[in-house]
Structure 1
Amino acid sequence: TMEVKRRTAKSLISKLGSVSEQARIAALCELRLLTKTDPEIRPVIADEGAIPYIADTLYFSEALVQENAAATLLNLSISCRDALMSTPGVLDALSHALSYHTLHHPAAVQAAAATVYSLVVDENFRSMVGSKRDILYALVDIIRNPQSPNRSVKDALKALFGISLHPMNRATMVELGAVEVLFGLVVKAGRVGLVEDATAVIAQLASAQESLVTFRRVSGVRVLVDLIDPGTGSSLRIKENAVSGLLNLVQFGGEVVAKVIREV
């Protein structure tokens, strides 16, 4: 029953504040499992005040603690976006996990990036998340770093895509070097499966006035035209993204961009 679930949640949350590290970790592991397997308990856990504790736990240095905290926030975000976004410090905690991605366990970084994506699925939150420059910078940096695991890059790309759906966020992303980093990923193409996600973000950024200069600097038009070429063996999704990017560039860059495309 819901009463049993409420009692369980209360008991586990009280242990999150325990002086015993073992008790805290055990409670966190249990909360992660419950929030994964039981959608009904998610709002109960949020209502009982677990979110600030879990967010604070992202600052702990132990890999197991970080990973469980990030995964629990991800699970809660599926059903309780409002509760997460209205809790002070949640975005800062996610930013911390993402910003120190080279030091933190990859699973914690991936869950933090996936949580950001989950939050921006709701268009009402895209502006607030996008106003956190440190989150955007960290996501771009994960993609930029050649040591980042593929899964971390994929989760960062998805988060950036969700953020880029809000037009006002695109200028900030361009300013933080997203265009260069995304084209770098596409051109290297060593990371199979990531090109589709990268071109999806590129297509969104192509509609930002600020991106025209950067696209020119990285020969963006040529890269996108090449992706459409049947000889490159691009997937249908990559081709669709490339076409969408070129159309956005022409729409916002006018005849100057159209001329560049014709020359290519």
Structure 2
Amino acid sequence: MHRTARSLVKKLGSVSEITRSEALAELRLMTKNDEESRLIIAEAGAVPYLAETLYSSSHDSQDNAAATLLNISISSRAPLMSTRGLLDAISHVLSHHATSSSPSAVQSSAATLYSLLVDDSYRPIIGAKRDIVYSLIEIIKRPNSPPRSIKDALKALFGIALFPLNRSSLIDLGAVGALFSLVMKDGRVGIVEDTTAVIAQIAGCEESESEFLKFSGVKVLVDLLDVGTGSSERIKENTVGALLNLVRCGGGGVMREVKEMRPGAVEGIKDVMENGTAKGKSKAIALLKAVEGGAKKWDVAV
């Protein structure tokens, strides 16, 4: 396998476009079907070639390079993050999502980011790339973005938001308005679930209160909790987490809006408390205490 990997990587540097294309297709297939091949191919020096190919005008080449990088990242993240210019190449694909980039390459690139963000040490590095964050937000804002592109962008944004210091940048770049617009306008399966997961993370910073109030975010979240809305359990759990983070990080404005919730929304919180996951139940209990008691310190961790 080592010999095959070295041979294919050598072909990536060929002057023949056909030779390069064939090697890319083979590498994509190998890394998809053989987990052990991923690190071997990365160690053979494939990643810089693959990153460079993300700038290709050929959609087939761009697709195969992006998919191969995604496959490698699932097993071996360090070779990607240690490659100079890799994040810039991913940013290039994402920033041209509405023009020259292949939709499949956009999806694979966003999914690669999510894969890399599993390692918490990479979250501040990727989150500091404002061009990447901006492009991900633009993907979810664009009405014509394919559902798969939106879902992959949301997952990448979720990974970025897991690092607390990234949340203010997400707010600065317009994530909150884009996310709430998705909640209100997009009813596709899974989109609202993923969107509310990102919202719940961004809610956990001091800057969130004014931004959420600007977009009537608390009212939107309360509507999602109302039992009459028919939200899924995952949406309700995410919403409870978002409101709890807002109460903990925000001031009186958020607390007032949360305390004015309709009975249907309170029933939604109680439903999570009774039927949710262990983490969801603990958050629901803490939120109910906040709503009913007004206290700001809780023993339950988010």
Q: For this structure pair, what is the TM-score category when the shorter chain's length is used for normalisation?
A: over 0.9
**Partner of residue 143, structure 1:** 140
**Partner of residue 85, structure 2:** 89
Matched, 1:243 2:276: no
**Partner of residue 112, structure 2:** 115
**Partner of residue 224, structure 2:** 227
Give the number of aligned pairs.
Answer: 260
Matched, 1:171 2:168: yes
Cα distance between partner residues in 2 of 1:185 and 1:120: 23
Cα distance between partner residues in 2 of 1:154 and 1:163: 14
* Post-superposition offset of 1:212: 1.4
**Partner of residue 196, structure 2:** 199
Picking from 166, 186, 190, the partner of 2:187 is 190
CA offsets, 1:81-105, max 9 Å, x none? 0111011011111111111001211
Give the conservation status (yes or no) of the 8 Å contact 2:208–2:250.
no
* Post-superposition offset of 1:263: 2.8
Cα distance between partner residues in 1 of 2:164 and 2:145: 28
**Partner of residue 32, structure 2:** 36
**Partner of residue 55, structure 2:** 59
**Partner of residue 124, structure 2:** 127
Cα distance between partner residues in 2 of 1:251 and 1:211: 11
**Partner of residue 46, structure 1:** 42
Higher RCO (CA-CA < 8 Å; seq separation 6+)? 1
**Partner of residue 152, structure 1:** 149
Give the conservation status (yes or no) of the 8 Å contact 1:170–1:208.
yes
* Post-superposition offset of 1:192: 3.0
Cα distance between partner residues in 1 of 2:91 and 2:255: 39
Matched, 1:20 2:20: no
Amino acid at match of 2:7: S
* Post-superposition offset of 1:179: 0.3
Q: Trace 1:204-219 onto structure 2 (pairs within 5 A).
A: 204-219=201-216
Helix, strand or coil: the match of 2:192? helix
Gaps in structure 2 of 5+ consecutive residues: 262-302
CA offsets, 1:148-199, max 9 Å, x none? 0000000000010011000011110110000000000001133332000000
CA offsets, 1:110-153, max 9 Å, x none? 00000000000111111111111011000000000001000000
Amino acid at match of 1:214: E
% identical equivalent positions: 60
Cα distance between partner residues in 1 of 2:37 and 2:110: 23
Across the aligned residues of Structure 1 and Structure 2, the Cα RMSD in angstroms comes to 0.9
Q: TM-score with structure 1 length normalisation?
A: 0.97
Cα distance between partner residues in 1 of 2:65 and 2:246: 41
Cα distance between partner residues in 2 of 1:82 and 1:210: 33
Moved more, 159-168 or 183-192: 183-192
Q: TM-score with structure 2 length normalisation?
A: 0.85
Amino acid at match of 1:10: R
Cα distance between partner residues in 2 of 1:53 and 1:189: 38
Amino acid at match of 1:239: K
Cα distance between partner residues in 2 of 1:183 and 1:172: 17
Amino acid at match of 2:46: A
